[in-house]
Every structure is written in structure tokens, then in C-alpha cells.
Amino acid sequence: MNIHLPKVDRKKNGQGLVEFALILPVLIMLIFGTIEFGRYLVAYVATATASREASRYGSAAGGNAAGLPRYQDCAGMRAAARKIGFLAGITDNDIDIQYDAGPGFTDDIPDDCGTTDLHGPSNIQLGDRVVVTVISHFEPIVPMFGLEGGLLDIQSITSRTIIRNIAVGPAQPPSPPPMPKVTFNTPDTSFDEPPSTSPVDYSVTVHLTEGPDHPVTIPVTVKATSTASGGADYTLATLAVSFAAYQQDVSFVVTIQPDLFDEEDETIILVLGTAAGIELGDTPEHTVTIVDNDGPPEVFFQTIVGQNVSENAMAAVVVQLSAESEKTVTVEFGATGGTADLLGADYTLLGAHPLEFTPHTTSASFIISGTVDMIYEGTETALISLLEPVENATIRTGYDTATIGIIDADSPPKVEFLLDKQSGSETSGIMPVIIRLIDPNTPGLEIISGVDTTVNYIVSGTATEGIGDDYTIDASPVVIPAGQSRATINVHVLQDLIPEGDETVIITMGTIINAEPGSIPEHILTISSKVVYFETPNSTTLNSKTLAEGVTTWTIRAEVNTAPTENAIHVPLYLSGTATRNSDYTISAPLELVFPIGATEALIDVTIRDDTLDEDDNETVILTMGDPDYASRADPFVYTINISDNENSPKVTFAISNQSKAEDNANPNMIVEVRLVDPSTGALTTSGRDIGVNFNVAGTATASGNYYDYTIDASPVIIPAGTSIVNLNITLRNDGWDEEDSESILIDLLTPTNASLGAITQHTVSIGDDDAMPKVGFNIASDSLTEANETKTVLAVLDAFSGRPVTVYYNIGGSAIRTGLDPDYSITASPVVIPAYTTSFPININVLDDGTLGEADETVALAMTTPTNATAFGITNYTLTIIDNDIVCPTAGQFFINANKLYFDVSNINLGSVIYYLMRIEINWPKDPNDQRLDDIYFGGSPTPLAYPAGAELPNDTDPSTVVVWTTTDALRTLLPNTTKRLDFEF
């Protein structure tokens, strides 16, 4: 083939350069565009591949070199992304690894892989996914408008379901066979606790679904929630199960240990572990129940006899169980008898009820505490018993009651004679000799004992015992019963008519039971023929004396019938009476009469003193002989001195005559001082007697009832002897209601006891009121009532109590009339009075049924004016509307005259809610006093009423004429009999 090339014109070379210059930018743009596209494509592919490889790594089965599962290997997933991602400049900060539960689930799984985390979450479930997001930042060579920061972000998100049997690698081997599963044959078994002391072995079988071709050891653990105790309740021969190659069932031994205590059925929860290449099967746990075969233990006292506690001490009372128990055992306890007083007097039981044994304890205790009662009782017993209810145990028969001794901490009392000696004559008859119990630590303090005290005694002396001789005596021993402090030995003195000297009966204490000897272990009773007395025996004038106050000394003389020859006679004297020694009188000491040997009289001086106190007119000094030595006493052995007072009685007066005080919550108390003054000088004085101040209370204030104003001490009040003033206490009540501006309390002194009235015998207390007047108004503003013989009540009411009556005035008005021949109502007259301490008063409006045909509704209007002791407030106007109940007349009717009556026939009449048809109204013709019909009776409405004279008759009674007899000027159409006298309507 021949090719012919045209000749080029050199002149056209410049044109080609120009064209090339024009095409060059386009070519450059195409070249750079191709380069940019290639770069972007590389970045895009690298980004997508990075997210895909990372998710593929994280979802594959197996783990890294450290054994960490791939889905938890955050660093491994980031490394997989960077292998290709480096082409797009991807760093760890551009890789985001998260987890979710798969499509359709919105909740992410927490614990994502952060940029610095090495491990992801471990709580991955079947179907969960790993989600890898990779972002690269592409920077074009040629700047492009609209790119933030000049960068274009490329993002790739890849999600993969996490699986465990696919490995990441260039070539995958065939799927391995299913992984063997280890499981218990059954989820639970029950084994009886051995009945003897020998353990029993039970076997538990573990199954492997497919025996591997190599030995496998599976660990076995005991779950913490098991209730049986290892070692005590059971032992395990091994904590691992070993399978030989291809072996599928292996049993291991659980040894159940016997015990002797009651317990709940217990459990051993066995849990299988795993080994390499072995999964857990459907029954990874096995529960072994150990069925208890022991009965409940017995509960009993550790000691039933022999335990003691002192009165001032405590002791633990131990209760035991016959065997340990896994259960909590409770038993009640309490006192059931004994010689000691139950609970409080001699002892108390302390401790929680019921008594509780915690599991595995075999003893518990409560406290018995002895009570110090300050009474000697010896050793007493308390019976304490175990009682129902008892839980998880039984009470052992014969060991359910403990006898505990209460050791007395009090020293035994001392016993002694009340007196060391006494005297009597042959005529004395029975002479008691008293023995008594004395506090061992306080001489002379007489006490009782909680047990009988037995005193043996020996009798001696110069007198002869026996009937017909000098005396007889109660047989020894004498007993002071428990709870008493004394006992008596009676000596019967006999009269033998033989002259003889003084003789003695000597009683000496011997053996004492439940007491110690006191300071007077012997008593000497003297039988004497000598008799002492004041002045002459049986005298009624010489054994008393009346003396006036003043420095006067009076000598009292006593006599003895026979002078003593061997021993002086000493007679003790005892003082009594209303006079006060050393104030009203003095007496020589010692207080005894002494008859020396050979003397027949003894003297003692009494000096009467003068004082300035008003006293009882006859104060007394009484001297009484005691039992003499070597003699007996005879009447009169009592001597009385009467002291007559020489002072005038004092006067009783108020300190002031009046005082005032306002009602006050803060300080409601006030006092009224009553004084005792000298009758001569008026100065404050005292009296030797109590003064009874009698008084009466009056005034406008009240001290009783619900609306009292004050309280005051009751009459009389006492001015004690030796004092000058007593106060009457008044407490004012701030009552909160209006009262008179000044209420008064008038206190009048009445005749006092042991005094007379002084100068100020009346005291006035003025109480100032501080409460505002109440407000008064009507209880309602309006009401209505259909015309009838009924009563409507409106109340005048106060907003608060008042202590004063409130007078309410009101004006009465309205369209209804209450006077004349045909009143519409009557009413309670104005004013009304609301009594004190009430809050309302009724105003009664009695509405009358007047029978007037067709009248309009009428009103009664009350307007309250200025009240007394209150202010008008609130509803001060009241209106009662009286609704007419009479005939509402029709617009036309017929009438006729027959004899003296005028008749109307109407087609219907509306009476309220009832319509009556074809009613005849009969009206008596008005007459004068002479029983003559009146002339000029007009019927009809304006403007042309019809007039009928007295003798007028209609042309035909049976053909009545129709005339207008009703007015139509108002809505009620009132009947208009135009006459100077009212018609008498009859129905």
C-alpha cells in the first residue's frame, strides 16, 4: 500500500503551537484528575479493606498468642486494620470498635474497645456482632472548594457476627467435629444421712458426650450456696474427674458423714468445670440433698438441786441440750413455786424470753438475781421450770424444774427483853414480860423477821412458882412468829395472904433459834407489897392542878404506902399533854421520883412560864408513873397540870382593801394578803394556835361554771401557829370574750377560828376586760314561704361569745301588712336580746293564710339598727317573700244573684300546681247592721264598672248575663268588688 503524506506548510506551525497551548491545560487537568481518582480509589479501597479485615479478625474463633479470644483482642483488631489501612494513612485514632446484639437491636453492648484498650468485653452472647468503623482523611493534590479543612473523609463500617469455629487465615481447614460436652447424668439426688457412726459412700456420675482420643480431666467445685458443710457433713474423694481416652462416663464418691444432731435437710451443689476442647453440657450442676435422720434434742437444767444464790448477788442458771442442733432452739422458763416469794420480793429472773440456743450451741443461761429485802429469812427455795412453748426440742422429763436456794444476806436479828425489870404487887394479876427483835446493826430499832424466832428461857428468883404459891408463868419456849417483832411471856402473880417481903421472878434467855442474844437477856420481875401513887390514893382532887401563865413553881408530891427498908424505890416519869416543855413549862431532872430508904414521899417541881403567844386556854402537862423498882403503882399514878392562857386573841385583817388587774395570759396570778395583827397595836404578830381564816366570795365576776372568770383558794385558809401571814391565791382567766369593762371579786372575812376580825374585812379585786365587742348580723339575707299558717325563723347571730347580753334592734317593713282586719303575718317584736354566753336568738315571723283572692306576693323586710354591747356587721338586712296561695282568677266569668248571694261560675281556676274545673264561687251580699243588703255594690274593672242597687235582680236567674268582673290591668287579674265593705268569700 502506498501512503501519501501531504506537504506541510510551515506557515501553519504557529497555529499548531497556539492550539497546543489551548489543549495543554485540559490535558493537565485530565492527567491530575486521573491521578486524584487513583489516589482516592486507593484510599477508599484501603479504608473498606481495613474495616473488613478488622471485623473479620474480631469475629473469628480462636484467640491470640496469649489465649485472649479474638473478639476481645482490641489491639489485634486494630493491627489487622492497619495492615492495609496504612495506604490511606489510617492510625489507631481512625479505628472505632464497638459491639451490638445484631440487626434489630438498638442497644449497644457496653465496654467498647477504646483507642488504648487492649481487651474488649467478655459478656459476648450468641449472635452478638463486632462493628468496626474506619475513617480515612483524603487530601486532594489540587485544592477543591467546599471541603472543610481541605480534607475529604472516607468512612467504612463493617459488622460481623462473632463465631468461635472459624479462624482467620489464608486457607481454612475442614470444619472440626462437634466439641464434646461434659454434664451430670441427673440434676439432683437425695441421700439419707447414715444411721450409725459409720460414713456412707454415694457415687455421682459425670458424662462426656463424645469421648476424646486423649485423657481429659474435668474440675469439680462445690458451690458457695451449698448448705452442707465440707468435712462435717460430707467429704469428696476428689475435686476432679478424669476420663481416659474415649471414655464417656466416670463416677466419683461423695461420702456422707453421720452426726447426732437435728438439722434441716442440707445440700451439696457440685459444679463442673471445663477443659481444653470440652464444653459444658445441659446439666453442669448437680445437687445432692442429705436427708436428716436425727430427732430433736432434749432441753434440760444442768443442775436441778444444789445451786444457790445470795440475796445481794446474781447467778447464771444453765440450761442444756442433749445434742447439737443445726436449728435454733427456744424454750420458755419461769417461776413455779418454792418458799421464796415469787419474782420481786425475794428474787427476779433476768434474760430474754424465750431462752434461745443458737445453732451448734448446747447450753444457754438466764440470770437469777437475789433481792435484798432487809428481812432475815434464812435460806429459801425458788422453783424454776422449763415451760411450753418449746421449738425444735423436747423438755426432758424429771429435769424440767430446778430448785435454787436463796441464801439470806441479812444478819439474823437480836432478841432481847423490852425492859430489864418491872415491879408489881400480889394484886397485879397477869404481868406481861415482852421480848422483841432488834436490828443487829441499830440498837433499839425494832424489826420483824421472815422466819419464826424461838427463845428458850430459864426461870429463877426468890418467888415460888406454882398454883397456891407466888406465881405461874407460860411454859418455855416463847415464839415470835415470822412477820412480827414481839412476843409475850405472861406471869400470873398470885395473892397468898402471907406477910412477906419483896420477891423476885428472874427470867433468863437460853437457847435461841433464828436470832442472836441482844443487850437485855434477863428480866427481873419484883413482886412487892409497896405501892406508890400521887398524893392520897383514889383522890380526885389532889392529882390535878390549874395554874395561870406566869413564873410559878408547883411541887408535886408522891407517896408510898410503906417506906422501903432495903432498896430505894425509883419511879420513872413520862411527860405528855398539849403544853410544850421549856416553852410553856420546865421540870426538874431527872424525870423520876425517888423514895430513899425510910422515906414515904418523893417530890418533883414544875415551873409554869409566861409567853406572849395566844394559846389554848387549857394547855396541859401530864406526868405518868412508869413501873417502879421494888414496888408497884396504884391510882392515881397520873398527875395533870392545867395552864390557863393570859393573852388576848389576835385579829385577822386584809393588808389592803383593793387592787386591780387586767386579764393576762402571761401573768394571770395575783395574791391577797391576810395578816395576823396584835389587837392593841395593830402590828404583825403570831399565835400559838393555828388561825382558821374564813371568808366569803361575791361580786360580778364568777368563779364557777363553764364561763368562770377566776379561781380562788377555798375557805378557810390557815395561818399556822408561829406565822403572821397567809396569801389567798387568785388566778384570772383570759377568757377571750367581751364582758363588763370592770368585773369585781368581793372577798369578805368571816369570823375566824382562834382570832377576831380586824380593821380591813373586805377586799375588792377589779378585773379589767381586754376583749373586743362581738359582731352581730342576720344568719341569712333572704328567704321565702308559701302563704300558710306557718312560721319562718331568722337568727340574730354573734361571731363570738359575749359575757354580756346583746340587744338587737331592727326596723320592720315590706309590702305585707301586720295590722288591721286581715294581717299577713305577726313577728317577734324589736328588740330581741341574745343572752350572755349564747351566740344567737330567733326572730319568728308567723305567716297567716288570709284567703284573699289573687293578691300579689308580699314581703317582710327587717333592717338591723345599732345594737347594744355589739356592733352590726355582715348581713344587716333580711327579706322574707310571702308567696300567695290564693286563686289566680281567669279573665272572664258568669255570675248571678240568688236570694242574698252572688254566684260566679268559672270554667277553671288554677290554685298553684292544681287546676280545678267548673268551680262555683259563692259570695255573701254585704249587709248593714240591720241585716239589709247594701246599695252601690260595684263589680267590674275600669273604666266602666257595673253598679247594682240593693233591690236589683237580673232578668232571669237561670240565664245569667255575662259581664266583665275581672280587672286586666295586672298579671294576677285581681277580683274587684268595689265596695266600702269587704266581701265575705265562701268556697
pLDDT digits (tens, 9 = 90+) for 7-21: 555 555 677 777 777
| SS3 sequence of 915-958 | EEEEEEEEEECCECCCCCECCCEEECCCCCCEEECCCCCCCCCC
The CATH class of the 423-527 domain is: mainly beta
The CATH class of the 775-883 domain is: mainly beta
The stretch 353-381 carries a mean pLDDT of 90
The DSSP secondary structure of 641-702, one letter per residue, reads EEEE--SPPPEEEES-SEEEEE--SS--EEEEEEEEE-TTT--B---SS-EEE-EEEESSS-
pLDDT for residue 22 is more than 90: no
62 grid coordinates? 480462636
The fold adopted by the segment(s) 298-407 is Immunoglobulin-like (2.60.40)
Question: Poorest-confidence range of 448-457, 530-539, 744-753?
Answer: 530-539
pLDDT confidence of residue 958: 33
The stretch 390-419 carries a mean pLDDT of 92
User: Percentage of residues in the chain with pLDDT exceeding 70?
Assistant: 81
Question: Poorest-confidence range of 34-38, 112-116, 724-728, 751-755?
Answer: 112-116
Reported as a pLDDT band with limits 50, 70 and 90, residue 363 is: very high
pLDDT for residue 967 is more than 50: no
The DSSP secondary structure of 464-520, one letter per residue, reads -BSTTSSEEEPPSPEEE-TT--EEEEEEEE---------EEEEEEEEEEESSEE-S-
The DSSP secondary structure of 801-858, one letter per residue, reads -BSS-EEE-EEEESSS--SSSS-SEEEPPSPEEE-TT--EEEEEEEE-----TTPPPE
Among 337-341, 494-498, 784-788, 837-841, the range of highest mean pLDDT: 837-841
Instruction: Tell me the pTM.
Output: 0.39
| Residue 179 to residue 789: CA distance in whole angstroms | 109
pLDDT confidence of residue 297: 92
pLDDT confidence of residue 105: 58
The stretch 186-194 carries a mean pLDDT of 88
Reported as a pLDDT band with limits 50, 70 and 90, residue 802 is: confident
pLDDT confidence of residue 427: 77
pLDDT confidence of residue 445: 93
CA end-to-end distance (rounded Å), the chain = 155
pLDDT digits (tens, 9 = 90+) for 833-867: 999 889 999 999 999 876 555 567 889 999 999 99
| Residue 386 to residue 333: CA distance in whole angstroms | 4
Beta strand pairing call for 471-473 and 486-493: antiparallel
269 grid coordinates? 451443689
Q: Which residue has the higher pLDDT, 740 or 336?
A: 336
784 grid coordinates? 321565702
Among 391-405, 616-630, 837-851, the range of highest mean pLDDT: 391-405
Beta carbons of 315 and 384 less than 8 angstroms apart = no
CB atoms within 10 A of CB 129: 22
> Can you give the length of the chain in residues?
987
pLDDT for residue 724 is more than 60: yes
Q: Side by side, which strands form the sheet with 414-417?
A: 471-473, 486-493, 430-438, 414-417, 516-517
CA 343 to chain centroid, in Å, comes to: 29
| Residue 389 to residue 395: CA distance in whole angstroms | 10
The stretch 416-429 carries a mean pLDDT of 87
Question: Phi first, then psi: what are they for 785, rounded to 5°?
Answer: -155, 130
pLDDT digits (tens, 9 = 90+) for 206-256: 998 877 778 999 999 999 999 888 888 899 877 889 998 888 899 999 999
pLDDT digits (tens, 9 = 90+) for 926-942: 566 676 655 544 444 33
| Residue 848 to residue 851: CA distance in whole angstroms | 9
The stretch 967-982 carries a mean pLDDT of 32
Beta carbons of 823 and 839 less than 8 angstroms apart = no
pLDDT digits (tens, 9 = 90+) for 767-801: 887 778 999 999 999 999 888 788 999 999 999 88
How far from 454 is each of 115, 417, 440, 445, 895, CA to CA, in Å? 105, 14, 17, 19, 130
| Residue 80 to residue 692: CA distance in whole angstroms | 118
Q: Domain boundaries in the chain?
A: 19-161, 181-291, 298-407, 423-527, 531-644, 651-762, 775-883, 893-986
Beta carbons of 606 and 510 less than 8 angstroms apart = no
Q: Which residue has the higher pLDDT, 32 or 273?
A: 273
392 grid coordinates? 425444735
Looking up cell 419464826 gives 452
Rg (CA), the chain: 65
pLDDT digits (tens, 9 = 90+) for 70-111: 888 888 888 888 888 888 888 888 888 888 877 655 555 655
pLDDT for residue 165 is more than 80: no
pLDDT confidence of residue 695: 96
One-letter amino acid for residue 76 of the chain: G
- DSSP label at residue 94: G
Nearest one of 392, 409, 388, 412 to 400, comparing CA atoms? 388
pLDDT digits (tens, 9 = 90+) for 448-477: 998 999 999 999 999 999 888 889 999 999
Three-state secondary-structure class, residue 403 = strand
Nearest one of 516, 513, 345 to 439, comparing CA atoms? 516
Nearest one of 197, 254, 262 to 230, comparing CA atoms? 254
| Residue 494 to residue 904: CA distance in whole angstroms | 133
Question: Phi first, then psi: what are they for 495, rounded to 5°?
Answer: -95, 120
Beta carbons of 638 and 651 less than 8 angstroms apart = no
pLDDT for residue 536 is more than 60: no
The stretch 332-339 carries a mean pLDDT of 92
- CATH number for the domain formed by residue range(s) 181-291: 2.60.40.2030
User: Percentage of residues in the chain with pLDDT exceeding 90?
Assistant: 36
258 grid coordinates? 453421720
Nearest one of 961, 956, 955 to 939, comparing CA atoms? 961
Reported as a pLDDT band with limits 50, 70 and 90, residue 905 is: very low
Q: Which of the following CATH numbers is that of domain 531-644: 3.40.50.720, 1.20.1050.140, 3.40.1260.20, 2.60.40.2030? A: 2.60.40.2030
pLDDT digits (tens, 9 = 90+) for 114-149: 666 656 665 666 667 888 898 888 878 776 655 666
Beta carbons of 553 and 606 less than 8 angstroms apart = yes
Nearest one of 238, 234, 237 to 218, comparing CA atoms? 238
The stretch 476-488 carries a mean pLDDT of 95
pLDDT digits (tens, 9 = 90+) for 209-218: 877 778 999 9
Q: Side by side, which strands form the sheet with 585-587?
A: 585-587, 601-608, 552-560, 531-534, 632-633
**Residue 45 contacts by C-beta under 8 Å, 6 or more apart in sequence?**
none
Reported as a pLDDT band with limits 50, 70 and 90, residue 6 is: low
| Residue 365 to residue 301: CA distance in whole angstroms | 9
Reported as a pLDDT band with limits 50, 70 and 90, residue 889 is: very low
Q: Does domain 651-762 have CATH number 2.60.40.2030?
A: yes
Q: 331, exposed or middle or buried, with CB in 10 Å at 0-12, 13-18, 19+? A: buried
List alpha helices for 60-145, DSSP H: 74-85
509 grid coordinates? 434467855
Reported as a pLDDT band with limits 50, 70 and 90, residue 831 is: very high
**423-527: same fold as 298-407?**
yes
Question: Poorest-confidence range of 557-566, 612-621, 810-819?
Answer: 612-621
